[in-house]
Amino acid sequence: AQSVTQLDSQVPVFEEAPVELRCNYSSSVSVYLFWYVQYPNQGLQLLLKYLSGSTLVKGINGFEAEFNKSQTSFHLRKPSVHISDTAEYFCAAIAGGTSYGKLTFGQGTILTVHP
Amino acid sequence: GAGVSQSPSNKVTEKGKDVELRCDPISGHTALYWYRQSLGQGLEFLIYFQGNSAPDKSGLPSDRFSAERTGGSVSTLTIQRTQQEDSAVYLCASSLGWGPYEQYFGPGTRLTVT
Protein backbone atom coordinates (compact mmCIF):
# COMPACT_ATOMS: atom_id res chain seq x y z
CA ALA A 1 0.00 0.00 0.00
CA GLN A 2 1.07 3.53 -0.69
CA SER A 3 2.46 5.52 2.24
CA VAL A 4 3.51 9.14 2.59
CA THR A 5 5.84 10.46 5.27
CA GLN A 6 6.26 14.08 6.20
CA LEU A 7 9.48 14.34 8.10
CA ASP A 8 8.68 17.43 10.17
CA SER A 9 5.52 17.86 12.21
CA GLN A 10 6.25 21.55 12.87
CA VAL A 11 8.45 24.09 11.08
CA PRO A 12 8.90 27.55 12.58
CA VAL A 13 10.45 30.20 10.35
CA PHE A 14 10.86 33.95 10.24
CA GLU A 15 9.11 36.09 7.67
CA GLU A 16 11.00 36.46 4.35
CA ALA A 17 13.17 33.43 5.09
CA PRO A 18 13.19 30.40 2.77
CA VAL A 19 11.44 27.22 3.81
CA GLU A 20 11.45 23.56 2.79
CA LEU A 21 8.81 21.07 3.90
CA ARG A 22 9.94 17.50 3.38
CA CYS A 23 7.90 14.63 2.01
CA ASN A 24 8.82 11.05 1.11
CA TYR A 25 6.56 8.47 -0.51
CA SER A 26 6.76 4.71 -0.83
CA SER A 27 7.92 3.58 -4.20
CA SER A 28 5.32 2.59 -6.75
CA VAL A 29 5.31 1.83 -10.44
CA SER A 30 3.24 4.91 -11.01
CA VAL A 31 2.61 7.64 -8.49
CA TYR A 32 1.06 11.08 -8.62
CA LEU A 33 1.97 13.60 -5.96
CA PHE A 34 0.19 16.60 -4.46
CA TRP A 35 0.66 19.27 -1.85
CA TYR A 36 -2.41 20.66 -0.12
CA VAL A 37 -2.64 23.55 2.34
CA GLN A 38 -5.17 23.93 5.14
CA TYR A 39 -5.62 27.33 6.73
CA PRO A 40 -7.17 27.43 10.21
CA ASN A 41 -10.83 26.35 10.19
CA GLN A 42 -10.85 25.95 6.43
CA GLY A 43 -10.89 23.09 3.96
CA LEU A 44 -7.98 21.75 1.96
CA GLN A 45 -6.71 23.71 -1.03
CA LEU A 46 -4.42 22.34 -3.73
CA LEU A 47 -1.02 24.06 -3.90
CA LEU A 48 0.53 22.02 -6.72
CA LYS A 49 0.67 18.58 -8.28
CA TYR A 50 3.08 16.32 -10.13
CA LEU A 51 1.56 13.98 -12.69
CA SER A 52 4.38 13.55 -15.23
CA GLY A 53 6.91 15.54 -17.24
CA SER A 54 9.13 18.19 -15.70
CA THR A 55 10.20 17.23 -12.20
CA LEU A 56 10.03 20.82 -10.98
CA VAL A 57 6.46 21.94 -10.54
CA LYS A 58 5.27 25.40 -9.63
CA GLY A 59 2.12 26.11 -7.73
CA ILE A 60 0.12 28.91 -6.26
CA ASN A 61 1.41 31.51 -3.80
CA GLY A 62 5.02 31.15 -4.95
CA PHE A 63 5.45 27.53 -3.85
CA GLU A 64 7.29 24.91 -5.88
CA ALA A 65 8.20 21.27 -5.44
CA GLU A 66 10.66 18.87 -7.01
CA PHE A 67 9.89 15.25 -7.77
CA ASN A 68 12.93 13.07 -7.12
CA LYS A 69 12.31 9.48 -8.15
CA SER A 70 15.65 8.10 -6.93
CA GLN A 71 15.10 9.51 -3.45
CA THR A 72 11.31 9.00 -3.53
CA SER A 73 10.88 12.57 -2.35
CA PHE A 74 8.62 15.49 -3.20
CA HIS A 75 9.80 18.40 -1.04
CA LEU A 76 7.93 21.70 -1.03
CA ARG A 77 9.87 24.96 -1.12
CA LYS A 78 9.30 28.69 -1.02
CA PRO A 79 12.16 31.19 -1.29
CA SER A 80 10.57 33.83 0.92
CA VAL A 81 7.62 33.20 3.23
CA HIS A 82 4.95 35.58 4.48
CA ILE A 83 2.94 35.66 7.67
CA SER A 84 -0.07 34.57 5.60
CA ASP A 85 1.66 31.28 4.75
CA THR A 86 1.08 30.10 8.32
CA ALA A 87 -1.00 26.95 7.87
CA GLU A 88 -0.82 23.16 7.88
CA TYR A 89 0.59 21.54 4.75
CA PHE A 90 -0.19 18.03 3.59
CA CYS A 91 1.71 15.94 1.10
CA ALA A 92 -0.45 13.33 -0.64
CA ALA A 93 -0.08 10.61 -3.24
CA ILE A 94 -2.24 8.66 -5.63
CA ALA A 95 -0.84 5.28 -6.65
CA GLY A 96 -1.75 3.43 -9.80
CA GLY A 97 -3.69 0.20 -9.80
CA THR A 98 -6.72 -0.46 -7.64
CA SER A 99 -6.02 2.60 -5.47
CA TYR A 100 -6.20 4.87 -8.51
CA GLY A 101 -7.79 8.14 -7.42
CA LYS A 102 -7.60 7.57 -3.66
CA LEU A 103 -5.42 10.13 -1.91
CA THR A 104 -3.04 8.89 0.76
CA PHE A 105 -1.96 11.75 3.00
CA GLY A 106 1.08 12.39 5.13
CA GLN A 107 0.64 13.43 8.74
CA GLY A 108 0.92 17.12 7.95
CA THR A 109 3.47 19.84 8.72
CA ILE A 110 2.45 22.94 10.61
CA LEU A 111 4.30 25.93 9.20
CA THR A 112 4.42 28.92 11.52
CA VAL A 113 5.83 32.15 10.14
CA HIS A 114 7.03 34.62 12.77
CA PRO A 115 7.43 38.36 12.18
CA GLY B 1 -18.77 28.80 -9.45
CA ALA B 2 -19.99 27.02 -6.36
CA GLY B 3 -17.56 24.74 -4.60
CA VAL B 4 -18.17 21.58 -2.60
CA SER B 5 -20.59 22.20 0.23
CA GLN B 6 -21.19 20.12 3.33
CA SER B 7 -23.85 20.19 5.99
CA PRO B 8 -24.08 20.53 8.86
CA SER B 9 -20.85 22.37 9.59
CA ASN B 10 -20.95 21.16 13.18
CA LYS B 11 -22.78 18.27 14.77
CA VAL B 12 -22.85 17.30 18.42
CA THR B 13 -24.53 14.00 19.18
CA GLU B 14 -24.85 11.60 22.07
CA LYS B 15 -23.12 8.25 22.01
CA GLY B 16 -25.35 5.63 20.45
CA LYS B 17 -27.29 8.00 18.19
CA ASP B 18 -27.25 7.87 14.39
CA VAL B 19 -26.00 10.82 12.33
CA GLU B 20 -26.19 11.78 8.66
CA LEU B 21 -23.64 14.01 6.98
CA ARG B 22 -24.37 15.55 3.60
CA CYS B 23 -22.11 16.51 0.70
CA ASP B 24 -22.99 18.51 -2.42
CA PRO B 25 -20.20 18.13 -4.98
CA ILE B 26 -19.27 20.54 -7.73
CA SER B 27 -21.72 20.26 -10.62
CA GLY B 28 -20.41 17.93 -13.32
CA HIS B 29 -17.93 16.12 -11.08
CA THR B 30 -18.50 12.41 -11.43
CA ALA B 31 -16.17 11.27 -8.65
CA LEU B 32 -16.90 11.95 -4.98
CA TYR B 33 -14.76 11.05 -1.97
CA TRP B 34 -15.18 10.97 1.80
CA TYR B 35 -12.21 11.41 4.12
CA ARG B 36 -11.91 11.72 7.88
CA GLN B 37 -9.52 14.00 9.73
CA SER B 38 -8.77 13.29 13.36
CA LEU B 39 -5.94 14.11 15.74
CA GLY B 40 -4.87 10.53 16.19
CA GLN B 41 -5.23 9.24 12.64
CA GLY B 42 -4.58 12.28 10.45
CA LEU B 43 -6.38 12.37 7.11
CA GLU B 44 -7.74 8.99 6.05
CA PHE B 45 -9.74 7.81 3.07
CA LEU B 46 -13.18 6.37 3.77
CA ILE B 47 -15.02 5.71 0.50
CA TYR B 48 -15.34 6.96 -3.03
CA PHE B 49 -18.11 7.06 -5.63
CA GLN B 50 -17.93 7.04 -9.39
CA GLY B 51 -21.39 8.07 -10.43
CA ASN B 52 -23.75 6.36 -7.99
CA SER B 53 -21.63 3.28 -7.41
CA ALA B 54 -19.01 2.83 -4.73
CA PRO B 55 -16.26 0.54 -6.05
CA ASP B 56 -13.96 1.18 -3.11
CA LYS B 57 -15.33 1.02 0.43
CA SER B 58 -12.06 -0.16 1.88
CA GLY B 59 -11.60 2.77 4.19
CA LEU B 60 -14.87 2.50 6.10
CA PRO B 61 -13.77 1.74 9.69
CA SER B 62 -16.70 -0.50 10.62
CA ASP B 63 -20.12 -1.68 9.44
CA ARG B 64 -21.66 1.20 11.40
CA PHE B 65 -20.51 3.44 8.56
CA SER B 66 -22.35 3.57 5.25
CA ALA B 67 -22.69 6.01 2.39
CA GLU B 68 -24.84 6.49 -0.64
CA ARG B 69 -24.98 8.81 -3.60
CA THR B 70 -28.09 9.56 -5.57
CA GLY B 71 -28.51 11.05 -9.04
CA GLY B 72 -24.76 11.19 -9.45
CA SER B 73 -24.74 14.22 -7.19
CA VAL B 74 -25.50 14.53 -3.47
CA SER B 75 -23.95 12.02 -1.11
CA THR B 76 -24.84 11.11 2.46
CA LEU B 77 -22.49 9.50 4.96
CA THR B 78 -24.36 7.75 7.77
CA ILE B 79 -22.85 6.66 11.06
CA GLN B 80 -25.03 4.39 13.17
CA ARG B 81 -24.73 3.97 16.91
CA THR B 82 -22.03 6.62 17.15
CA GLN B 83 -19.04 6.10 19.43
CA GLN B 84 -16.68 8.65 20.92
CA GLU B 85 -13.90 7.52 18.59
CA ASP B 86 -16.06 8.67 15.67
CA SER B 87 -15.43 12.28 16.71
CA ALA B 88 -13.54 13.91 13.84
CA VAL B 89 -13.89 16.27 10.91
CA TYR B 90 -15.48 14.53 7.93
CA LEU B 91 -14.33 15.94 4.62
CA CYS B 92 -15.94 15.48 1.24
CA ALA B 93 -14.18 16.06 -2.06
CA SER B 94 -15.13 15.82 -5.70
CA SER B 95 -13.22 15.60 -8.97
CA LEU B 96 -13.86 15.42 -12.70
CA GLY B 97 -13.25 11.69 -12.71
CA TRP B 98 -11.60 8.74 -11.04
CA GLY B 99 -7.84 9.09 -11.36
CA PRO B 100 -5.12 11.66 -10.72
CA TYR B 101 -7.45 14.62 -11.00
CA GLU B 102 -7.44 17.52 -8.59
CA GLN B 103 -9.81 16.84 -5.73
CA TYR B 104 -11.76 19.86 -4.52
CA PHE B 105 -12.54 19.71 -0.83
CA GLY B 106 -15.50 21.00 1.11
CA PRO B 107 -15.14 22.79 4.47
CA GLY B 108 -15.97 19.64 6.41
CA THR B 109 -18.41 18.61 9.11
CA ARG B 110 -17.05 18.58 12.65
CA LEU B 111 -18.66 15.68 14.50
CA THR B 112 -18.46 15.53 18.27
CA VAL B 113 -19.82 12.47 20.07
CA THR B 114 -20.43 13.05 23.77
> Which pLDDT does position A17 carry in this prediction?
98
Report pLDDT digits (tens) over A66-88: 999 999 999 999 999 999 999 99
Query: Is the separation of the CB atoms in B102 and A103 below 8 Å?
Result: no
Instruction: Work out the pLDDT band at B1, boundaries 50, 70, 90.
Output: low
Q: Is the dihedral of CA B68, B74, B75, B78 positive or negative?
A: negative
Q: Is residue A5 within 8 angstroms of chain B, CB to CB?
A: no
> Which pLDDT does position A41 carry in this prediction?
81
CB contact under 8 A, A43 and B99: no
Q: Tell the burial category of A33 from Cβ atoms under 10 Å away from its Cβ (0-12, 13-18, 19+).
A: buried
Report pLDDT digits (tens) over B15-58: 999 999 999 999 999 999 999 999 878 899 999 998 888 878 88
Q: Is residue A33 within 8 angstroms of chain B, CB to CB?
A: no
* CA-based nearest distance B11→chain A, Å: 15
Closest chain B CA to residue A35: B102
Closest chain A CA to residue B103: A46
Report pLDDT digits (tens) over A11-48: 999 999 999 999 999 877 788 999 999 998 888 999 99
